[in-house]
Amino acid sequence: MSRPERVVENLNRALHAHLAADPRLYLLGEDVEDPYGGAFKVTKGLSTVYGERVIGTPLSEGGIVGVAGGLALAGDKALVEIMFGDFAALAFDQLLNFASKSVSMYGRPVPMHLVVRCPSGGGRGYGPTHSQSLQKHFVGIPGLALYEMSPFHDNHDVLGRMLGAGSPGVFFEDKVLYTHRMAAAGVVDELFRFDFLDQAGEFARIYADDPGELDCLLIGAGGMTDRALTAMRELLLVDEIAVQLVVPSRLYPFDVEPVLPLAAKAGVVCVVEESTAGGTWGAEVAAVLHTRLWETLRRPVRLVHSADSIIPTATHLEREVLVGAATIRAAVKSELASRRERSLT
């Protein structure tokens, strides 16, 4: 059997398929045209095939999200690539005050088929302004959905869902993930397997051979997968702690239902995210879990973040700041130790 495709190939294929299927769909972004094909090569080949609907733009993030909003308002569909997700800051007004509001502020539903793609996160030495995880800045905006790319979720399905929703969405794509392989056929690697908690396949669950064994539940978006798996491996093999990981495709609004049984069973939950602490997606997930499982959880939901710092460029300095497998492993162990201490007293 051939190896599963790389995530970037899966995403590129998804874009091809959507542009081929829908003559009203446009893609706009800086340097997205061939032969360059985008800063991360995600859009390679698209302009050659879909010509005038794949548009290389000037450096105008606010402007191009505005143009995309205009296309969507007029009944077309639009995908925007923000070269580095950090620059979505320049499009914040169009997302917050135009695209997301337009679906409801005129007193009746106005469909807006618009997706803004944001290559995100650190780990590649791009430095403070090209490495951030901006998810938290977009959480809680009425009419704006947030999704994150993962190796478990086929990008064609995810983008189809987002483009079909009728309200705008932001798609976060962890840059490190592009070169990784998609997970297929329920197998992650020699140790871990995966399945889905829900019919729609939005919540991937990763576990080692016995899905019934569960000391602690991790929840993290796609970009955290690798670090979470490394931590889970060491926790299992070295510390003899059975941890499972849930990777949701949609971050916001966060549908907690499919996760409740596992969270209740574990009693100990950690949410891992690459952003800095403070008003985060993880805090949102924790608040929802606390409300629903206050009596059942044995500990408050633990949030695991990167350090409260800008992201330095030098590899060794960047590594010190960004949340890593060791941070996650330590957090899980301390949560379980506190739980034990408490149950002893």
Give catalytic residue positions: 130
The nearer residue to other proteins, 20 or 317, going by C-beta atoms, is 20
52 Cβ partners below 8 Å, 6+ apart? none
Answer yes or no whether residue 76 interacts with other proteins by CB under 8 A.
yes
The nearer residue to other proteins, 137 or 329, going by C-beta atoms, is 137
| Only segment of 52-60, 133-141, 211-219, 316-324 that touches other proteins (CB under 8 A) | 52-60
Answer yes or no whether residue 102 interacts with other proteins by CB under 8 A.
yes
Among 21, 48, 97, 290, which residue sits at the site for other proteins (rule: CB under 8 A)? 97
Residue 287, helix vs strand vs coil: helix
Bond from prior residue into 35 cis (ω within 30 degrees of 0): yes
Answer yes or no whether residue 111 interacts with other proteins by CB under 8 A.
no
Burial letters for 7-22: b for 16+ Cβ neighbours within 10 Å, e otherwise? Answer: bbbbbbebbbebbeee
To 5 degrees, how large is the angle CA 193–CA 302–CA 274?
70
Answer yes or no whether residue 166 interacts with other proteins by CB under 8 A.
no
Return the number of other C-beta atoms located less than 10 Å from residue 194's C-beta.
20
Dmax over Cα atoms in the chain, in whole Å?
69
| Only segment of 72-80, 145-153, 216-224, 333-341 that touches other proteins (CB under 8 A) | 72-80
In whole angstroms, how close is the CB of 295 to other proteins at the nearest point? 29
Which amino acid does the sequence have at 142?
P
Give helix 7-21 / helix 155-164 axis angle, nearest 10°. Answer: 40
Residue 56, helix vs strand vs coil: strand
The nearer residue to other proteins, 116 or 332, going by C-beta atoms, is 116
Among 2, 106, 190, 316, which residue sits at the site for other proteins (rule: CB under 8 A)? 106
Answer yes or no whether residue 110 interacts with other proteins by CB under 8 A.
yes
In whole angstroms, how close is the CB of 111 to other proteins at the nearest point? 12
Distance CA 140, CA 13 (A): 31
Answer yes or no whether residue 78 interacts with other proteins by CB under 8 A.
yes
In sequence order, the β-bridge partners of residue 217 are 244, 269
In whole angstroms, how close is the CB of 58 to other proteins at the nearest point? 6
Answer yes or no whether residue 93 interacts with other proteins by CB under 8 A.
yes
| Kind of pairing between the strands at 54-56 and 192-196 | unpaired
Tokens 């977009």 identify what position? 138
Per the structure block, which two tokens stand in for 204?
A: 């991937």
The nearer residue to other proteins, 7 or 46, going by C-beta atoms, is 46
In whole angstroms, how close is the CB of 249 to other proteins at the nearest point? 22
In whole angstroms, how close is the CB of 75 to other proteins at the nearest point? 7
The nearer residue to other proteins, 61 or 273, going by C-beta atoms, is 61
Answer yes or no whether residue 69 interacts with other proteins by CB under 8 A.
yes
Return the number of other C-beta atoms located less than 10 Å from residue 265's C-beta.
12
Nearest to 15 by CA among 71, 53, 52: 53
Answer yes or no whether residue 65 interacts with other proteins by CB under 8 A.
yes
Q: What secondary structure letter does DSSP report for 6?
A: B
In whole angstroms, how close is the CB of 89 to other proteins at the nearest point? 13
74 Cβ partners below 8 Å, 6+ apart? none
| Only segment of 96-104, 213-221, 232-240, 300-308 that touches other proteins (CB under 8 A) | 96-104
Among 1, 74, 238, 344, which residue sits at the site for other proteins (rule: CB under 8 A)? 74
Applying CB under 8 A, the residues found at the interface with other proteins are 55, 57-58, 60, 62-76, 78, 93-94, 97-98, 102, 104-110
